Amino acid sequence: MSTGWLIGSAVIAVIVAPLIGGLLRGIDRKLTAHMQGRIGPPIIQPFYDVIKLLGKKPMVAGGAQLVFAYAFLALIITAVVFFALRQDLLVVLFILFFGSLCLPIGALSVKSPYSQLGGHRELLQFLAYEPILLLAAIPIALKAGGFPITNIFEYGQPLLPNLWITFIALLIVLAIVMRKSPFDISGSEHAHQELVRGVLTEYSGPYLALIEIGHWYEMVLLLSILGLFWVVGSLWWLSIIIALGSWFIMLIVDNVTTRLTWSWMVKFAWGAGITLVALNILFINLGWM
Amino acid sequence: MLGIKNHKARGSIVFLTAAVLIISSIFYLRQGSFPIEYSPHPNWDWVVLVLNYAILAYFLFVAIRDFAQRGISRHNILTVVLTLAAGIPLAIFEFSQAPHTPLEVVPTLYIDHLSVIMCLIVSIIGSLIAVYAIRYMKDHEEHRMHLGELKETTQPRFFFFMLIFLGAMNGLVFANNLIWLAFFWEVTTLACYGLIRHDETPIAITNAFRALWMCLIGSVGFSLAIMFLWNSPLNTISLAAVIENGAPVLLLPIALLCLAGLTKAAQVPFQSWLLGAMVAPTPVSALLHSSTMVNAGVYLVLRIAPAFQGTHLSTLIAIYGGAVFLITAILAISQSEGKKVLAYSTIGNLGLIILCAGINTSLAIAVGIMLLIFHAISKGLLFLCAGAIEHHIWSRDIEDMEGTATKLPVLTGITIAAMFSMLVAPFGVLITKWGAMEAATGIGVWSTLVLVLLMLGSGATTVFWAKWIGRLLCHSPMPGRAKREPLIPLYHGILLILIGCAVVFSILIASVYNGVIAPSLTEAGYNAASAFTTSAWFLKSSIGIFAAWPIFIIIALALLIPSLATKAKPEESHASYMCGENVEIGTDEFVAVADERTQLKTGGFYIENMLGEGNLNRFVVPIGVVLLVILFVLVVI
């Protein structure tokens, strides 16, 4: 693909990703409401929310908090751009991690009980999913013959048949990144629990809007990585089905489970997630997959 | 040096020595035609030999003196036993097995690009630390005199050992004759012992002895390796000859040399000496962790890596390095003493270098050397930052560093930048992490295990750095910007130079690679072209690409624009949420039971009950021992 095309697709990704993310968030709320026997807000409610937040008076509880709110969004957009430019998958992940790290660091920079609690828990979430996500890049690279995302497109075969074990592990990551039950330990959806809004407690107004938009980008990027498992051939549209299917599974899991402790989460993620990916790598190295 | 009591005169000498070292090391680099071989007059071999025994005799003397003063202890007994175990094989070899001057090896000194990289690290970073110490030791002694712990200055001895250390390190990286190498090795152990002991408190003395006997295990390995090599078919004590001929005939002596490297690099199970070394004044820690001591260990392993390429030893060393990386990263999470976190991080990063040496491909070795450089800069910087902060708040505890961002904004800013340089893209340390992951991909079934260790360790690393950054930044809402602390040239100046180095070298990573790393790969017999190909703006391995410049530019914009352009207005500042029980805006108090005003306290997570040293060390040390035993059993088989 020519450079012009790539740059074009990066620009489109930056514009379209938050629209998709916001929309998915709206559908999420609607479906969840239906599952709970409620009617729920309109599908474009998340956009209304963000627009309203952006119009509010800025309030900060610490200088660094504000810098990290901007950096969170900017770095995640950077990761999306590098993904669209089909750069090295590990590099995309490292930039994404840097962005994701800005959220807890911003929360920890305020002397506030709930924000501190949420920030630390966010770091533990990070501890749970970062290794799985990094490790998942390895079997992909082994199959595609390299880490650059271009290689996956040039590979010519879908990855899923050989990498379905890794794919399952990535679903755990998706649940943690989308902050869905049972992994919503850092900032629960409902603000009347023991950690209030956790990592987000001290963010308000326009800065909260920045973080919300950042989360949309983050979710779309994660779903796109899942989509990479079937991007080639005449059935390329399956990648969209796979991504949306994974997203829907998260919704169901969210509604049938409840929040668990952080130590359970880390043990589960390291125990199940890492083992799955490691097995997949082992099978590939042994030539079985 | 020992006799100079005047502070100014001593400072000037240290400063001049530092300047000479820095200039001459850069002159070496510009020299051009490598490798340089040089053999001094054979009489010097005898001088080295005699001095080597003199140092061993001194170790015996201090152990016996300690026995007389403080009674029998594990440390002084082990020191005596291990000194003898190191000295006797050497004596047997020299006086019975090799009667006619075996000591001459041509060349005695061998200087290639790897030596020059080490020389630059030692001379530049080491000298900057020595200059910083001029101010640090003045403050340190004033504080101790104020507390009544100290009557007379002991700085002459301190700087004497410091400069000896730098000299010995330079000798060590140039030596090709193993007897010379062993001698410089012993001198660094001596200097390390002297510096850890410097404050002469009971704990300092105990820890100095622990460092001494653990490093002596390495010396025993060295002596035995020399004996085996001389008695092997090769009949040599030239390092270059060993590397050239390599495995499998020489696998045992090579493994012994690796053991020497691992003890110096404080790898598990020898990590306790480096942790104990924390009691010394902070410039000592900076020196041990960045430019001297531990670097000597990984230097030796990287240097002899070509000799064990393709053997089981290599595989095991990679797994061992990965295990150390993971274990130390997890242990670091539970530490609340800042310097201990830094120490665990050092051991982990050295483990990563050892892992690279074990993977032993061109790419891996390139990454290992790169990490050696970037780690030295960032870690030296971080220790100096920790020392400067310590001299403002008089504590080493991370919890006491809460909110230094408002009290010492410049110092804290540099510290956080230094932490980011260890942690995130696009800095050098992260580039090497990326490289290590790519190097470990697809090189055998066993690489699965290495990769798992690497990824888990990398996740844990992120947690302890981010947690610490959070504590530094944490403060109550306050309007406006923090007031800048008074700048101290020997603190802030040195720190700024080092952070500048970390940034500039990361940006110029392609030039660093082409300038010094690629030639040292070629000299060691690796294929530099199969490691990285570069242009001005990217590094490309055979399976990946790191677009260094675009990443640098975009990330710099993403961070700098908000931090410069956004400023919270005073009226936007609000108190933190405490369920509506705040006393008033602008304080961090809340209304508790019976309307009492209570101060809000926050703290970091350390997860002591699960990840504490007490809990994990029961497993960690045996794991380290078992791994090393397996390593040696396999080598012997």
| pLDDT at site B365 | 95
Q: Which of B326, B398, B402, B559 to mutate to test the interface with A (most CBs of A within 10 A)?
A: B559
Residues 245-284 of B with CB under 8 A from A: none
Facing A282 at nearest CB: one of B405, B448, B557:
B448
For B140-189, the pLDDT digits (tens) are 989 889 888 888 888 889 999 999 999 999 999 999 988 899 999 999 99
Chain B contact set for A84 (CB, 8 A): none
Query: Which alpha helices (H) appear in B440-517, and where do they start and end?
Result: 447-473, 494-507, 509-512
Give me the pLDDT at residue B248, please.
67
Distances (CA, A) of B422 to B60, B418, B427, B547: 40, 7, 7, 19
Please judge whether A101 and B444 are an interchain contact, meaning their C-beta atoms are less than 8 angstroms apart. no
Closest alpha carbon to B267 in B189, B203, B323, B190: B323
Letter string b/e over residues B75-103, b meaning 16 or more CB atoms within 10 A of that residue's CB: bbebbbebbbbbbebbeebbeeebeeebb
Q: Of A244-248, B474-478, B527-531, which has the strongest mean pLDDT?
A: A244-248
Q: B interface mutation test: which of A59, A65, A86, A90 has the most B CBs within 10 A?
A: A90
Name residues whose C-beta falls within 8 Å of residue B472's C-beta, 6 or more positions apart in sequence: B401, B402, B403, B404, B405, B412, B415, B416
Q: Which of B462, B543, B568 sits opposite A146 (nearest CB)?
A: B543
Span of A152-166, B44-58, B413-427, B567-581 with lowest mean pLDDT: B567-581
Spell out the residues 6+ positions from residue B170 whose beta carbon is closer than 8 angstroms to its own. Answer: B21, B119, B122, B123
Tell me whether A254 touches chain B (CB under 8 Å).
no
Asked whether the predicted pLDDT for residue B565 surpasses 70, the reply is yes
The residues in A 191-210 lying below 8 A from B, measured between CB atoms, are: 196, 201-202
What pLDDT is attached to residue B585?
66
Give the pLDDT confidence score for residue B1 in this predicted structure.
62
pLDDT at A202: 81
Report yes or no: B411 and B352 within 8 Å, Cβ to Cβ.
no
Indicate the range of B192-201, B213-222, B476-485, B550-559 predicted with least confidence.
Answer: B476-485
Residues in chain A: 289
B577 at A interface, C-beta within 8 A = yes
B438/A71 touch (CB, cutoff 8 Å), yes or no: no
Chain B interface mutation, best of A100, A103, A123, A186, highest count of B Cβ atoms under 10 Å: A123
| Chain A interface includes B443 (CB < 8 A) | no
**What pLDDT was estimated at residue B586?**
64
Per-residue pLDDT at B101 exceeds 60: no
Residues 120-139 of A with CB under 8 A from B: 120, 123-124, 126-127, 130-132, 134-135, 137-138
Would the CB atoms of B588 and A111 count as touching at under 8 Å? Answer: yes
Q: Which residue of A has its CA nearest to B565?
A: A67
- The pLDDT, as a whole number, for residue B575 is 73
Q: Is A57 exposed, middle or buried (0-12, 13-18, 19+ CB in 10 A)?
A: exposed
Q: Give the length of chain B.
A: 637
At A79 the pLDDT is 94
For B357-388, write each residue's pLDDT tens digit. Answer: 999 999 999 999 999 999 999 999 999 999 99
Partners of residue A169 in chain B, C-beta under 8 Å: none
Is A61 near chain B, with CB under 8 Å? yes
Q: Is the distance from CB of A68 to CB of A132 less than 8 angstroms?
A: no
Nearest to B425 among A95, A131, A196 (CB): A95
- Tell whether A115 is within 8 A of chain B (Cβ): yes
Query: What pLDDT sits at residue B568?
Result: 66
% chain B with pLDDT above 70? 95
Give the pLDDT band of residue B559 (cuts 50, 70, 90).
Answer: confident
Q: Are B538 and B546 in contact (CB under 8 A)?
A: yes
Tokens (6 digits) for B140: 């340190």
Chain A closest CA to B471's CA: distance in Å?
7
In chain A, residues with a C-beta closer than 8 Å to the C-beta of B402 are 111
Give the separation between CA B288 and CA B285, rounded to whole angstroms: 5
Pick the range with the lowest mean pLDDT from B9-18, B133-142, B623-632: B9-18
Contact B551, A95 (CB under 8 A): yes
Is residue B102's pLDDT more than 60? no
The answer to whether the beta carbons of residues B179 and B103 sit under 8 Å apart is yes
Per-residue pLDDT tens over the stretch A20-48: 999 999 999 999 899 889 998 999 999 99
Going by C-alpha positions, the residue among A161, A106, A99, A97 that lies closest to residue A132 is A97
Whole-structure pTM value: 0.94
Q: Does A260 touch chain B (CB under 8 A)?
A: no
| Contact (CB, 8 A) for A61 and B477 | yes
Query: Smallest CA–CA separation between B306 and chain A, in Å?
Result: 25
The token duo for B323 is: 């295990």
> Cβ of A111 and B403 within 8 Å?
yes
Q: Read off the pLDDT of each residue in B621-626 and give the average, rounded to a whole number.
A: 89
Of B475, B573, B604, the CB nearest to A60: B573
Supply φ then ψ for residue B38, to 5 degrees: -150, 130
B466–A147 CB contact, under 8 Å: no
Q: What mean pLDDT value characterizes chain B?
A: 87
Q: What is the pLDDT of residue A191?
A: 58
Counted across chains A and B, CB pairs separated by less than 8 A come out at 217
> Which chain A residue shows the shortest CA-CA distance from B577?
A112
**Strand pairing category for B597-599 and B589-591:** antiparallel
- Kindly tell me the burial class for residue B621, based on how many C-beta atoms sit within 10 Å of its own C-beta (0-12, 13-18, 19 or more): middle
Show residues of chain B in contact with A131, CB under 8 Å: 455-456, 458-459
Query: Nearest CA of chain B to the CA of A248: how many Å?
Result: 28
Structure tokens at B37: 């071989």
Residue B586 contacts A, CB cutoff 8 Å: no
Q: Is B562 on the interface with A (CB under 8 A)?
A: yes
Residue B587 predicted with pLDDT over 80: no
Q: Does A60 touch chain B (CB under 8 A)?
A: yes
State pLDDT tens for residues B498-511: 999 999 999 888 88
Residues of B (349-408) whose Cβ lies below 8 Å from A: 402-403, 405
Alpha carbon distance A156, B211 (integer Å): 57
pLDDT band at B582 (very low <50, low <70, confident <90, very high): confident
Q: How far apart are CA B352 and CA B379, in angstroms?
A: 15
Q: What pLDDT band is residue B570 in, cutting at 50, 70 and 90?
A: low
- Cis preceding linkage at B477, omega within 30: no
A99, B559 Cβ separation under 8 angstroms = no
Chain-chain contact of B455 with A58 (C-beta, under 8 angstroms): no
Question: How far does A31 lie from chain B, in Å, by closest CA?
Answer: 31
- Strand (E) positions, B85-241? 109-111
Please check the confidence at residue A189 and state whether its pLDDT lies above 70.
Answer: no
> How does residue A1 score in pLDDT terms, banded at 50, 70 and 90?
low
A87 contacts on B by Cβ (under 8 Å):
545, 547
What is the complex's ipTM, to 2 decimals?
A: 0.94
CB contact under 8 A, B459 and A134: yes
**What percentage of chain A reaches a pLDDT higher than 90?**
58
Q: Do B452 and A274 touch (CB under 8 A)?
A: yes
* Mean pLDDT (whole number) for A85-104: 93
**Closest among B149, B151, B144, B112 to B33, alpha carbons compared:** B112
